[in-house]
C-alpha cells in the first residue's frame, strides 16, 4: 500500500461510485502536482516546498466544490522569481471569471474566492533561478442555504425574516417542517412567528411560556402540552413537522417518525391572512439555538406524506433557499453534519496496485447526497484488467445566441453575464453521460436574464436588447409581459440609429408580440401602432427600396423624388409554396393580400417646400389584426387584413384623386356588404376606432376582395356588416332619441307614481291579487325611471363607488321590472288554465319573493364576482368620437348579455305565449256576444291587445328587430313605447277602469261630480255573488290577471281559501290587466 499524495491532506468522507484516474509518480522529491482536490479543506504547495522548487515545472491543481459552494484559497507563504509581467516563473489563479497572475512575493497573505464551484491554480517555472515556492490553503465555503444553519438572533439588532419578494398567501391549512437544536432553555421563547400586514397581530407562530408550548393561529392560542414540550428540543438537530387544517381545527405533529395529534377547536374555520411578515425568533424572546431547513406548504400533509418527506423537498410557500430569506451576516453557519448538506470528500484512501507499474491510483469522488458516514472503509479491486477512459471536455459553443460557452471540463458549471443585462448571470453545466462516459452540455439556464424591466436601453446596446426580446417572445405573452416588451421596443426605436439589421429584429419582435391574445394586446395596441409608424420613418436604407418582412408584419419603404413622382403602388403577397410575406414595389401583383396604389396627384395639396422634404413613401401590412380592437363596432366585424401607407411625415388629406386600396377578405362573403374604414386614433377617448370618413367602396369588389377609394392615407381595413347593412345612428337622430327617452321616462315615472298612489289610497281597489301585482310592477317602473333619469347626472361626479352603486340599482330595477312582467303572465296562466281547484298559500308573498328576490340574487352575484362589471361608459358617440354622454351601467358584455338580454328573452317568450292564450280567450268569448256590433267588438279586442301589450312588456321586443336596415325605425319605436310604458299602464289599468274612476269621483271630486255613498256601484263593490257579465271579460282588462271588482276573487271569499273563485255556469272570468 502507498499513502495518499504528499500534496493533499485534510479529512475526507468517502462515497460510492468511484472512478479511477492514474497519475504519474515522479522519482525525486517532487510531489505529483497535477491534481483534483475535492476535500472540504486542505492545503497544497509547490514541489519540494519549503526547499526551492525544481526547474521546468508545469503544475495544475483543480479545486472542485459541490454545487452551492465556492472555493476560497489563502496564500500562507509565497516566493517566486521576480520579473516584469511574470514572464519566467508564475502562479495563475483562474477564479471562473478572470485569471490572476502572481510572481515575486506579491501574493503573500492574499485570499481569493472562486465565482463558481471550480477554481484552478497553475504553476510554471523556467530553466533557471528557483525560489522557495508557495504554500496555499483552501476550503469550501457554502453559498447555498441548504448547507447552512442559522443561529436565531437574541436582540432586535438582527432579524431573520422571509424576503419581501416572497408573498405569503392566505392560508386555511398549512404544513411547516424545520430542524432545530437548542443551546440553552429560557422561560419564554419563540421559534417562529407570522404577523398580519398591519404588523400588530400575530397570525401564526410557535412559542413557549414556562414549560408549555403553544401554537398561535389567527389570534387563537392552542396549547401543545399533550404533544410537544420545550424539553423536546435538545442540543442535537432534530426534525419537527406541524400541520393544521381550518376545516377540522386539528394539529398534527410529526417527530421521531411518529404522528402526535392535538385538537384545537378554537381554530376551526379560522384563516391566516396573507401578505404579512414571517420571521424566525422574536428579538429578546427568540429561541436560543439554531434552525435549519425551514419549509412551509399551503396544505396539511398526511402521515404517509410525512414519512416519505425528504430533506430536499421544496416548500411551495417558503423554502430553505437564499431566494426566500433575508439573513443578517454572521448568523448563517456552515455545518457538514446537516441532514441535507452537500459535501463530497474521502478520508484515508488506500489502494493496491501492481508493483511493476509506476502509477498510483487516485479516487475521484462524484457528488452524492450523504446519509451516513463510513469509518475504516476499504475497497479491494479484484479485476484482472482495467480500462481507463479519458473524459472529454464539453466543446466551446454558442447557445443561445450571444452566449459563447468556453471549453469546459465535465461536472463543471460555467457562468456568463446575462445578455444584455450583465448584472445577472446565466449558467450551464458540462454533464457526463454515465453509460458511455461521454460529456455533453446541459441547457443554458437563462432564467435570471429575462427580467428586461431593469435593462437600460441605449444606442450602444439597442441591438443586444432587441435580440434578447426576440429570444423571449416566441411563446404567448401575458398582458404585463406585452406591456414590458412594447415599452422596450419603443425605447429602442427612440434612442437607436435604425439600420436594416436592427429594424428586421424589431419587426420580428413585433410579429411575435402580435401572436398574443386580444386581451393581452388590448392595453398596448395603441403604443404598438404608433411605434411601428415611428420605426418606418427612422429606418435607414440605400437604394430605391427596402422591404422587411416577418410572419405577421411586413414593411416596405421606397425612395421618393417629388420632381419625378408619377404615382406608385405597393402590394403584399405570399408566394406559392411559402408562408412568408413578400412586398412588391414594381407592379400590381396577381391576387395580393393587399395593394395600395398612390395617384400622381398625391402631393397636389402639399407645398413645394414641404414636398422637397419628403424622402420616402412607407407601406405597412398587418397579417394579424388584433392590434385594431374597436370596442364599438356597431354590428360590424373586421373581415380583412390591415394595410397602411404614409408619405414621409406629411399628413395627406383631401386628395384630388383617391388612393386605391385593394384588400382580400379573410373569410368568403357570398353576399358582401363591405364598409371601407380607416383607423382613427382620436376617437373612443383616444384609444382609437374604425371610421369610414373619406372612404368609399369602389368598383371591382367581389366576394373575395374589396376595392376602397379614400381621399387620405392611414391604416385601412374592411368592416363587414354581419346583419346585411351598415346602419349607424347619426348625431341628429341620437339627440332626438335621447330627448324622447328622457321625456318619456319622466312622464312614465309620474304616471307610475299616480297609479301606485291611487291603489294605496283606495283600499277597495287593492283587495284582489291582480291589483297587488300591478302595484309591485308600478313600484319597479317608478324606481327604474327615477334611477335612469339621474344616472347621467351622478356619473358626472367621477366617483367610482357612486357610479357602481347607481349602475347596481339601475340593473336591479330593470330586472325587477322584467320579473314582474313575467309574473303577470304567470298569474294569467293560473287564472285561465288552472281555474278550478287551485289553492296557493301566501300567494302574493311568494310572488314578491320571486319578483324582488330573484333580481337581487343576480345583481349581488355580479358584484360579488367582479364589482368592476359595473362602471362608467360613454354612450351616443358618433364616428368622430363626439356627442357622447357618460352613463353608469353594466360594463362587462358577458354580464349584460346573460343577465339582461338572456333574462329578458326568457320572460319575453313566456309573455308572448301568454299573450296569445289570453287573446284566444278574449276573442272566443267576444264571438258569442250578439248585443254588440262588429265595430264595437273590434274596438274592445283592440283595447285588450294594447292593454296586454304594455302590461306584459311586449314593446321591449322591438330591441330584437333593431337590426340591419330597419335599425333606426325600431330604435324610435323602442324608445317611444318603452319610455312611456308607465304612462300606458296608467291609462289602461287605472284611468280607464270604471271602479278607479268611481273611487276618484267619490273621494276627489266635489259638488255634482262627486259620487254618492249609496250609489249602485258602492253597494255591489263587495258583493261576491253578482254574476259577471260577458262585457267584463274585455272591458275590465287591468292590473295583471283576471277577476272583476264586482266578482272579486280573493278579498271576499268566505267558504274556501281558494284564491281563484269557481265559475258558475252563468258567470265568466273578467280580465283585469
Sorted by where each starts, the structural domains of the chain and their CATH numbers stand as 19-142 (2.60.120.290), 146-334 (2.60.120.200), 409-445 (no CATH), 456-540 (no CATH), 732-1072 (1.20.1070.10)
Pairing between strand 582-584 and 616-622? unpaired
Cis peptide before 15 (omega within 30 of 0): no
In whole angstroms, give the CA distance from residue 534 to residue 522: 20
User: Tell me, what's the pLDDT at 964?
Assistant: 58
Q: Distance between CA 416 and CA 116 in Å, rounded?
A: 11
Read off the pTM: 0.37
Paired with 44 in beta bridges are 136
Which of 773, 768, 756, 751 minimizes the C-alpha distance to 1040?
A: 773
pLDDT, residue 753, reads: 92
Whether 174 and 244 have beta carbons less than 8 Å apart is answered as yes
Which parts of the chain register pLDDT below 50? 1-27, 343-363, 365-370, 721-727, 878-882, 1014-1073
Q: What angle do CA 407, 410, 416 make, to 5 degrees?
A: 50
Give the other-Cβ count within 10 Å of 226's Cβ: 12
Q: At what angle do helices 525-538 and 479-495 cross, to 10 degrees?
A: 20
CB 131 within 8 A of CB 81: yes
Q: What is the pLDDT of residue 32?
A: 73
User: pLDDT at position 1050, please?
Assistant: 32
Half-sphere exposure (Cβ direction) of 387: Cα atoms closer than 13 Å = 4
CA distance 33 to 190: 53
Residue 801, H or E segment: helix 800-833
Amino acid at each position: 500500500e502507498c499513502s495518499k499524495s504528499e500534496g493533499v491532506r485534510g479529512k475526507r468522507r468517502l462515497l460510492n461510485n468511484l472512478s479511477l484516474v492514474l497519475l504519474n509518480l515522479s522519482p525525486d522529491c517532487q510531489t505529483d502536482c497535477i491534481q483534483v482536490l475535492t476535500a472540504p479543506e486542505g492545503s497544497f504547495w509547490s514541489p519540494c516546498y519549503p526547499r526551492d522548487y525544481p526547474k521546468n515545472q508545469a503544475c495544475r491543481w483543480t479545486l472542485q466544490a459541490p454545487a452551492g459552494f465556492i472555493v476560497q484559497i489563502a496564500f500562507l507563504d509565497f516566493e517566486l522569481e521576480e520579473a516584469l509581467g511574470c514572464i519566467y516563473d508564475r502562479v495563475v489563479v483562474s477564479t471562473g471569471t478572470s485569471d490572476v497572475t502572481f510572481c515575486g512575493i506579491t501574493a503573500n497573505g492574499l485570499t481569493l474566492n472562486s465565482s463558481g464551484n471550480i477554481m484552478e491554480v497553475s504553476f510554471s517555472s523556467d530553466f533557471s533561478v528557483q525560489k522557495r515556492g508557495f504554500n496555499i490553503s483552501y476550503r469550501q465555503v457554502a453559498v447555498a442555504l441548504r448547507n447552512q444553519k442559522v443561529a436565531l438572533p437574541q436582540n432586535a439588532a438582527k432579524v431573520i425574516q422571509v424576503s419581501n419578494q416572497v408573498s405569503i398567501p392566505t392560508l386555511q391549512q398549512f404544513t411547516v417542517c424545520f430542524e432545530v437544536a437548542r443551546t440553552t432553555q429560557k422561560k419564554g421563547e419563540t421559534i417562529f412567528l407570522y404577523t398580519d400586514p398591519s404588523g400588530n397581530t400575530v397570525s401564526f407562530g410557535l412559542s413557549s411560556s414556562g414549560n408549555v408550548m403553544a401554537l398561535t393561529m389567527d389570534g387563537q392560542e392552542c396549547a401543545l402540552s399533550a404533544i410537544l414540550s420545550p424539553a423536546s428540543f435538545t442540543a442535537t438537530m432534530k426534525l419537527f413537522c406541524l400541520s393544521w387544517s381550518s376545516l377540522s381545527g386539528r394539529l398534527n405533529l410529526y417527530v421521531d417518525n411518529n404522528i402526535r395529534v392535538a385538537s384545537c377547536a378554537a381554530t376551526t374555520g379560522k384563516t391566516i391572512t396573507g401578505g404579512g411578515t414571517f420571521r424566525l425568533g422574536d428579538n429578546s424572546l427568540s429561541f436560543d439555538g439554531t434552525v435549519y431547513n425551514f419549509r412551509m406548504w399551503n396544505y396539511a400533509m398526511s402521515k404517509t406524506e410525512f414519512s416519505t418527506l425528504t430533506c430536499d423537498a421544496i416548500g411551495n410557500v417558503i423554502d430553505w433557499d437564499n431566494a426566500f430569506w433575508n439573513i443578517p451576516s454572521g448568523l448563517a453557519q456552515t455545518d457538514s453534519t446537516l441532514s441535507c448538506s452537500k459535501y463530497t470528500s474521502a478520508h484515508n484512501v488506500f489502494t493496491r496496485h501492481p508493483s511493476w507499474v509506476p502509477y498510483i491510483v487516485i479516487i475521484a469522488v462524484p457528488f452524492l447526497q450523504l446519509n451516513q458516514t463510513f469509518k475504516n472503509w476499504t475497497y479491494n479491486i479484484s479485476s484482472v484488467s482495467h480500462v481507463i477512459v479519458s473524459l472529454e471536455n464539453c466543446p466551446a459553443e454558442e447557445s443561445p445566441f450571444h452566449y459563447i460557452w468556453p471549453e469546459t471540463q465535465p461536472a463543471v458549471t460555467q457562468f456568463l453575464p446575462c445578455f444584455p443585462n450583465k448584472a445577472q448571470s446565466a449558467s450551464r453545466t458540462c454533464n457526463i453521460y454515465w453509460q458511455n462516459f461521454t460529456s455533453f452540455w446541459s441547457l443554458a439556464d437563462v432564467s435570471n436574464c429575462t427580467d428586461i424591466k431593469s435593462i437600460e436601453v441605449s444606442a450602444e446596446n439597442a441591438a443586444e436588447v432587441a435580440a434578447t426580446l426576440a429570444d423571449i417572445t416566441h411563446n404567448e405573452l401575458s398582458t404585463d409581459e406585452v406591456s414590458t416588451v412594447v415599452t422596450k421596443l419603443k425605447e429602442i426605436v427612440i434612442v437607436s440609429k435604425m439600420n436594416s439589421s436592427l429594424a428586421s429584429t424589431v419587426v420580428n419582435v413585433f410579429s411575435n408580440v402580435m401572436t398574443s391574445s386580444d386581451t393581452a394586446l388590448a392595453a398596448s395596441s395603441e403604443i404598438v401602432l404608433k411605434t411601428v409608424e415611428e420605426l418606418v420613418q427612422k429606418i435607414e436604407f440605400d437604394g430605391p427600396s427596402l422591404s422587411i418582412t416577418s410572419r405577421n408584419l411586413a414593411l416596405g419603404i421606397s425612395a421618393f423624388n417629388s420632381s419625378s413622382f408619377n404615382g406608385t403602388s405597393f402590394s403584399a403577397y405570399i408566394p406559392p409554396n411559402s408562408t412568408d410575406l413578400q412586398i412588391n414595389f414594381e407592379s400590381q401583383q396577381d391576387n395580393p393580400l393587399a395593394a395600395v396604389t398612390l395617384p400622381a396627384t398625391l402631393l397636389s395639396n402639399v407645398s413645394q417646400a414641404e414636398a422637397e422634404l419628403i424622402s420616402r413613401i412607407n407601406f405597412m401590412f398587418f397579417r394579424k389584426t388584433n392590434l385594431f380592437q374597436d370596442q364599438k363596432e356597431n354590428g360590424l366585424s373586421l373581415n380583412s387584413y390591415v394595410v397602411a401607407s404614409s408619405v414621409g411625415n406629411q399628413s395627406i388629406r383631401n386628395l384630388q384623386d383617391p388612393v386605391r386600396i385593394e384588400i382580400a377578405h379573410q373569410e368568403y362573403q357570398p353576399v358582401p356588404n363591405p364598409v371601407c374604414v380607416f383607423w382613427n386614433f382620436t376617437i373612443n377617448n383616444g384609444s382609437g376606432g374604425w371610421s369610414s370618413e373619406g372612404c368609399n367602396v369602389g368598383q371591382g369588389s367581389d366576394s373575395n376582395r374589396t376595392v376602397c377609394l379614400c381621399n387620405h392615407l392611414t391604416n385601412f381595413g374592411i368592416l363587414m356588416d354581419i346583419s346585411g347593412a351598415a346602419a349607424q345612428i347619426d348625431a341628429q337622430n341620437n339627440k332626438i332619441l335621447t330627448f324622447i327617452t328622457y321625456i318619456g321616462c319622466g312622464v312614465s315615472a309620474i304616471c307610475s307614481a299616480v297609479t301606485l298612489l291611487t291603489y294605496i289610497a283606495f283600499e277597495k281597489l287593492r283587495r284582489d291579487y291582480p291589483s297587488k301585482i300591478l302595484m309591485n310592477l308600478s313600484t319597479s317602473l317608478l324606481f327604474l325611471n327615477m334611477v335612469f333619469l339621474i344616472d347621467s347626472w351622478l356619473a358626472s361626479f367621477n366617483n367610482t363607488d357612486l357610479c357602481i352603486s347607481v349602475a347596481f340599482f339601475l340593473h336591479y330595477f330593470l330586472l325587477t321590472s322584467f320579473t314582474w312582467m313575467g309574473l303577470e303572465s304567470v298569474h294569467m296562466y293560473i287564472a285561465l288554465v288552472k281555474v278550478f281547484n287551485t289553492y296557493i298559500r301566501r300567494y302574493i308573498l311568494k310572488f314578491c319573493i320571486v319578483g324582488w328576490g330573484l333580481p337581487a340574487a343576480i345583481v349581488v352575484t355580479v358584484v360579488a364576482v367582479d364589482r368592476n362589471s359595473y362602471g362608467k361608459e360613454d354612450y351616443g358617440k358618433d364616428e368622430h368620437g363626439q356627442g357622447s354622454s357618460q352613463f353608469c351601467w353594466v360594463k362587462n358584455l358577458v354580464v349584460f348579455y346573460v343577465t339582461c338580454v338572456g333574462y329578458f328573452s326568457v320572460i319575453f317568450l313566456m309573455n308572448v305565449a301568454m299573450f296569445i292564450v289570453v287573446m284566444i280567450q278574449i276573442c272566443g268569448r267576444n264571438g258569442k256576444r250578439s248585443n254588440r256590433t262588429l265595430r264595437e267588438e273590434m274596438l274592445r279586442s283592440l283595447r285588450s291587445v294594447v292593454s296586454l301589450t304594455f302590461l306584459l312588456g311586449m314593446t321591449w321586443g322591438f330591441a330584437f328587430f333593431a337590426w340591419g336596415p330597419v335599425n333606426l325605425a325600431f330604435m324610435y319605436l323602442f324608445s317611444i313605447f318603452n319610455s312611456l310604458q308607465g304612462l300606458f299602464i296608467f291609462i289602461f289599468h287605472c284611468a280607464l277602469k270604471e271602479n278607479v274612476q268611481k273611487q276618484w269621483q267619490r273621494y276627489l271630486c266635489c259638488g255634482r261630480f262627486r259620487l254618492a255613498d249609496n250609489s249602485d256601484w258602492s253597494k255591489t263593490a263587495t258583493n261576491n255573488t253578482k254574476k259577471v257579465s260577458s262585457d267584463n271579460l274585455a272591458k275590465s282588462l287591468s292590473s295583471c290577471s283576471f277577476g272583476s271588482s264586482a266578482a272579486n276573487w280573493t278579498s271576499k271569499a268566505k267558504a274556501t281559501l281558494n284564491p281563484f273563485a269557481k265559475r258558475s255556469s252563468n258567470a265568466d272570468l273578467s280580465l283585469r290587466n
